């Protein structure tokens, strides 16, 4: 099996998160590395700084789907073609705990677009936690099982000419290491539930300037004490 390593997947910026400065990175799956397409495993994708991400697909290989101007990451071989279909999933593992500030789902429709009806995406994290995003209304979803402050914003209409796009903000109560996305069977006519991944945004806290000054002062003081002790011994 071919594994692609060390590919830059995200673009970074600085912002304020939960009252402290954080470094944000947007993982745009529309820019998924071409070398990873057609594979089931893609490792050491560079997110930002020293943070990397390993991804794997089950039930097929990685594939991109473009519909109505939006491009998302899915899995090959399913009924809907390069979306994440029943029996398939996309799973990831960060190299260190990461704060996920938001994620984007594409092609999640409430019906009867493409003969789909109330499509549901299941999200799992850290091995034991699960939640769902269900397209229960026109341009709206119902979130179940996420952090109390989680919210969803429609970013593309749930119509035949729309992208069925939803951003879910502050989905997890704390940093996560692993995650997974898979559809839930909901008695849909043809495809069951199917969707694609648009993006994931992470936020890594960085030291405040005051903390950096204190750290530097402490190291300077330690070095000065060592020099004085050596001089006294001589």
Question: pLDDT (tens digit, 9 = 90+) per residue, 223-232?
Answer: 555 456 555 6
Determine the average pLDDT of the residues in 110-126.
83
The CA distance from 3 to 125, in Å, is 23
Taking phi first (over 0 means left), then psi (-120 to 50 degrees means alpha), and beta for anything else, what does residue 81 get? left
pLDDT score at 213:
44
pLDDT at 81 over 60: yes
pLDDT score at 191:
55
pLDDT score at 22:
59
Q: Could you tell me which residue, 16 or 105, shows the higher pLDDT?
A: 105
List of domains in the chain:
7-208 (2.60.120)
Determine the average pLDDT of the residues in 89-109.
96
The CA distance from 169 to 100, in Å, is 9
Q: What percent of the chain has pLDDT over 70?
A: 72
Most confident of 1-15, 99-113, 138-152: 138-152
Q: Please report which confidence band the pLDDT of residue 186 belongs to, taking 50, 70 and 90 as the band edges.
A: confident
């Amino acid at each position: 099996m071919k594994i692609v390593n060390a590919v830059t997947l995200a673009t970074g910026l600085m912002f304020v998160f939960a009252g402290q400065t954080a470094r944000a990175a947007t993982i745009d799956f529309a820019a998924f590395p071409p070398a990873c397409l057609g594979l089931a495993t893609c490792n050491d994708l560079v997110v930002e700084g020293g943070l990397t991400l390993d991804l794997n697909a089950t039930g097929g290989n990685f594939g991109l789907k473009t519909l109505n101007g939006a491009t998302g990451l899915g899995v090959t071989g399913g009924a809907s073609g390069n979306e994440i279909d029943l029996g398939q999933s996309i799973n990831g593992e960060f190299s260190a705990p990461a704060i996920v500030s938001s994620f984007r789902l594409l092609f999640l429709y409430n019906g009867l677009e493409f003969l789909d009806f109330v499509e549901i995406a299941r999200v799992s994290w850290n091995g034991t936690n699960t939640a769902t995003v269900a397209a229960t209304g026109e341009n709206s979803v119902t979130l179940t099982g996420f952090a109390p402050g989680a919210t969803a914003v429609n970013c593309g209409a749930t119509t035949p000419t729309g992208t069925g796009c939803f951003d879910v903000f502050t989905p997890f109560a704390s940093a996560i290491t692993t995650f997974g996305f898979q559809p839930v069977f909901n008695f849909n006519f043809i495809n069951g539930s199917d969707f694609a991944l648009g993006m994931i945004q992470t936020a890594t806290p960085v030291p405040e300037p005051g903390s950096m000054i204190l750290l530097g002062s402490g190291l300077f003081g330690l070095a000065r004490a060592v020099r004085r002790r050596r001089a006294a011994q001589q």
